[in-house]
Structure 1
Amino acid sequence: MARDIEDYTAQYQRLPFEPLQAAYRRRRVLAEIARHRPRRLLEIGCGHLPLFTDLPDMACTVIEPAPMFASNARELAACRTDVRVIQAYAESCDFPPAEPTFDMVVLGCVLHEVDDPQALLAAARRFCVADTVLHVNVPNAHSLHRLLAVAMGLIPAADVMSDTQRTMQQRGIYDMSSLSEELACAGFAVLEHGSLFVKPFTHGQMQELVDLGFLTPALLEGFDRLVEQLPDLGSEIWANARIQHV
C-alpha cells in the first residue's frame, strides 16, 4: 500500500480522542527517556508535537516525512541550536559520518503504519550502537476495547483491522508477542515492555464521553494507572530494545 502522507496528516488531525491518547503515550515515552538519560536522541516520526519541546537540555534529531509536521517542528526548534529537523523517510535518510549514532531512538506509533516494518527497523538500526536503546510503541491487538468488540460479535478476532485503522492507512496491529518477533527479526532484543492506558471503548466513543463530561480527568488517569492491574489490556504496548548480540 503506497501511503498518501498528506491525507494521513489531515486524517490524523481529525481523529477523535487522539490528542488525549497521545498525551498518555508521550508521558510514557518521556518517562523512559528520563530513566535511560540519553545524551543524543533521535525521534522518527514526531507528529504535531516533537519530543524535544519537553527536553530543553538534550541534543535531538527529528526525522519526519510529513511536510506539515516537519515544518511545524522546524518552527518549534527555531531557537534551539541542539535540535535538527530532517524532512524525509527514515529508510532513505543518511547522516554525515561524524554523527551516525544516538543513545536513544524513538519510534512512536509508526511501526504499524509502514508497508515494510523491517526496512524501517533496519533504518533505525543504522543509527544505533551496542548501548543504544530503541523505544517502540504501537496499538495493542489485545486492548480491552478490541476484546470487547470480539465479545460483542462486532469483529471476528482482535487482530482484525478496524475502520479507523484503514482510514489511517495502517498496515496491521501487533500484540506483544508479534512485536517482539518483529524486533527480533530486525536484530533487536527486547529489554523490557509494558502497556499504557486501558481504553474500554473506541476513539469515537471515548471522545463522545469526554464531550459529555462523563470521562473526567480523574477517570482518564485511572484508566492509565489500570495497566498496573491489567498489564496486557492497555490500548498501546511499548518495548525497549537493544541490538542483539549472538
Structure 2
Amino acid sequence: MQKLEKLEKLDSYKQSYTTAFPYFEENLIIHMVYGKHIGQYIQSHGLRTAMSLGVGHTVVAQPILQQLTNGTLERYVIVDGAPQIIEDFRHSLEPAPEGLELIEGYFETFTTSGRFDVIEAGFILEHVDDPAFVLSRLHQFLAPGGRIFIAVPNARSLHRLLGNMAGLLDDLYVLSPSDLALGHKRYFDLDTISALVREAGFKIVNTEGLMLKPFTTHQLNTLNLPPSVWQALVNISADYPEISNAIYLEVTE
C-alpha cells in the first residue's frame, strides 16, 4: 500500500507539467535550453549511450531522442517513478524508436545493465528525499570518461534577490505554493549544488546559468515581451549562474 500511495503521489504532479500550470511556458524555455545542451554534446562527441532520470517536461528528452533516431546514439534509457507519466510518454512516441528503454522505478533503487556516456539528471535533485544518495548512485552507471548533466532551480535567482531586498520575500529558500505543486523539497544555490556534487565524488567541468529572470513571472507576463527579449535573457544567463533562474552543471568523475 505504501508503494502504491507513493506512485499515486508522483502521478499527482502531472498537472504541473501541462499548459494549465502558470509557470509552464517559462519552465519550457529553461528545459529546452538545457536539453539542447545535452543533444549537442552527444552529437559533437559521437556518443553511443545515454540515460535520463525523469520524464518531466519531455522537451529535454526530444533532442536526445533525435540523436537516437539519427544513429548517433545506440541506447537511451529513461527512468521515472510515475507510471502514468511514463505511459503517456510512451504513447506520445508510438512507434517508439529502436534503442529506447523506459524503466518505471525510483532513482534511489532502479537497476539497469551497462554504463552510460551521458547521464541527464536535470531538475530532479530538488525533488528527492536524499539528493546526495541519488548522486552517489550514479557512479555505478557512468562510463569511464562519461559526463553527468545537472540542472536545479536557483534560490538566488535575480528576481528572488530583488524581492528579498525589497522586503517582499522574507526567505530566499522558502518554497512557494508553485514549488510545492511541482513536488519540490528544497532550493539550491550555486554554492550548495556545487558542494553537493563535489561531496558525491564528482568534478565540475562546466557551470552556466539557464535564463536570467529579473522579475516575477506575473510581472514579466504583463510586459508582453517579444521572443527576442526572452532569447536575450537566455543568452545573458550563461555567464551568470549565481543569479540565473536555474543552474546548469556538467560533471565527471
Please say if 1:168 is aligned against 2:173: no
Q: Give the counterpart letter for 2:143 in structure 1.
A: V
Q: Which moved more, 1:189-198 or 1:56-65?
A: 56-65
Aligned to 1:124: 138
Please say if 1:8 is aligned against 2:4: no
Return closer, same or farther for 1:165/1:228 CA change in 2, 3 Å cut-off.
Answer: closer
Aligned to 2:245: 235
Q: How far off its partner does 1:155 sit? A: 1.7
Return closer, same or farther for 1:16/1:188 CA change in 2, 3 Å cut-off.
Answer: same
User: Cα deviations across residues 155-192 of structure 1 (Å, max 9, x unaligned)?
Assistant: 22322222322232311111111101111221111111
Note the 1:128-207 alignment, pairs <5 A: 128-206=142-220
User: Cα deviations across residues 23-78 of structure 1 (Å, max 9, x unaligned)?
Assistant: 33322332244235331110111224133443323221111112222112322163
Aligned to 1:65: 81
Q: 2:90 aligns with which of 64, 74, 87?
A: 74
Q: CA RMSD in A?
A: 2.2
Q: How far off its partner does 1:228 sit? A: 4.8
Task: Tell me the matched-pair count.
Answer: 235
Q: Would the aligned equivalents of 2:208 and 2:240 in 1 still touch at CA under 8 Å?
A: no
State the alpha-carbon separation in 2 of the partners of residues 123 and 35 from structure 1: 23
Higher RCO (C-alpha under 8 Å, 6+ residues apart):
1
Q: How far off its partner does 1:241 sit? A: 0.7
Secondary structure in 1 aligned to 2:145? Answer: coil
Q: How far off its partner does 1:231 sit? A: 4.4
User: Cα deviations across residues 91-127 of structure 1 (Å, max 9, x unaligned)?
Assistant: 22111xxx32100000111111111112221332221
Aligned to 1:54: 66
Secondary structure in 2 aligned to 1:130? Answer: strand
Aligned to 2:229: 219
Q: 2:34 aligns with which of 18, 28, 31?
A: 28
Q: Give the counterpart letter for 2:16 in structure 1.
A: Q
Identity of aligned residues (%): 23
Q: Would the aligned equivalents of 2:154 and 2:244 in 1 still touch at CA under 8 Å?
A: yes
State the alpha-carbon separation in 2 of the partners of residues 77 and 125 from structure 1: 32
Return closer, same or farther for 1:40/1:77 CA change in 2, 3 Å cut-off.
Answer: farther
State the alpha-carbon separation in 2 of the partners of residues 120 and 242 from structure 1: 15
Aligned to 1:45: 54
Q: Would the aligned equivalents of 1:6 and 1:66 in 2 still touch at CA under 8 Å?
A: yes
State the alpha-carbon separation in 2 of the partners of residues 40 and 238 from structure 1: 21
- The runs of 5 or more residues in structure 2 that have no matched partner are none
State the alpha-carbon separation in 2 of the partners of residues 26 and 34 from structure 1: 12
